Amino acid sequence: MADAIDTAKLELPQGTLDLLILKALSLEPQHGWAISERIRQVSAAALQIPQGSLYPALHRLERRGWIKAKWGESDNNRRAKFYELTRTGRHQLEAETDAWRRLTVAVRLVLDMR
């Protein structure tokens, strides 16, 4: 599987990872592994994020107060650290999603220029 996607692997633009994490958490609280799984699944494995890089990002977001962490039970009855969006995190997600949309529209307009 890993071999198959190597060719289609996309580099993430700076700062995008934060947005993806916030989005992944927007439905329900998740632990780190689940977040990484979710991003992988939803992006049809096109976005291959080195799993390790998730954790510095999570801690940075927690420091900013956009997400908060809580220890809880995982689906396989193990102790796991769950992250959830805070109110500021939710605002931030909306703002960044909006910004991202406008950016992609703008970039597409430029690229489609004839």
Partner 1 sequence: MLMDVVSDLRFRWRALIHRAEVERELDEELRFHLEREATKLEQRGLDAQEARRRARLEFGGVDRVKEETRDARGVRVLETIVRDVRYAVRGLRARPGFALAVIVTLALGIGANAAMFGIVDRLMFRSLPYLRDPASVNRAYLSYSFRGARIVGGSLEYPRYLDLATSPTLSQSAAFRDLDLAIGTGQDSHEMHVDAVSASFFEFFDARPAIGRFFDTSEESTLADAPVVVLGYAFWKTRFGGRADVLGQQLQVGSISATIVGVAPKGFVGSDEVQPAGAFIPLTAYGKSQIPSFDKDYSWGWLAMMIRRKPGISTSAVAADLSRLYALSWQKEQALESRTAPVSLAKPTALVAPLHEMRGPDAGRNAPIILWICGVAAIVLLIACANVANLLLSRAFRRKREIAVRLALGATRGRLMTLLLIESLMLALAAGIAGMIVGEGGQLVLSRLFLPRNATIGVLDDARTIIFACLAALMAGLLTGMAPALQAGREDLVSALKSGAREGVRHRSRTRSALLVAQGTLSVFLLVGAGLFVRSLHKVAGIKLGYDVDKVMYVAAEMRGLALEKEQDIVLKTKLMEEARSIPGVEHVSQALTIPLWQMRRQSFSVPGVDSADHLGQFLLQMGTADFFRTMGTRIVRGRGFDSTDRRGSPPIIVVSQGMAQKIWPGEDALGKCVRVGGDTMPCATVIGVAENIKASDVIDDSGLQYYLSIDQQRPAGAALLVRTRGDAAGLEEVVRKRLQPLMPGPSYVTVTPMREIVDPARESWRLGATMFLLFGLLALVLAAIGLYSVIAYNVAQRTHELGLRIALGAHARDVLRMVLAEGLRFGLAGIGIGVAIALAAGHWVQPLLYQESAQDPLVFLSVAAVLAIVAVAASAIPASRAIRVDPSIALRAE
| List of residues contacting partner 1 (CB under 8 A) | 2, 31-33, 36-37, 50-53, 55-57, 59-60, 62-65, 74, 76, 78-81, 88
CA–CA distance, 5 with 7 (Å, rounded to integer): 5
Q: Is the CB of 17 or the CB of 23 nearer to partner 1?
A: 17
Q: Is the CB of 86 or the CB of 97 nearer to partner 1?
A: 86
Q: Is the CB of 64 or the CB of 108 nearer to partner 1?
A: 64
Where helices occur in 15-53 by DSSP H, the ranges are: 16-25, 32-42
CA–CA distance, 83 with 67 (Å, rounded to integer): 6
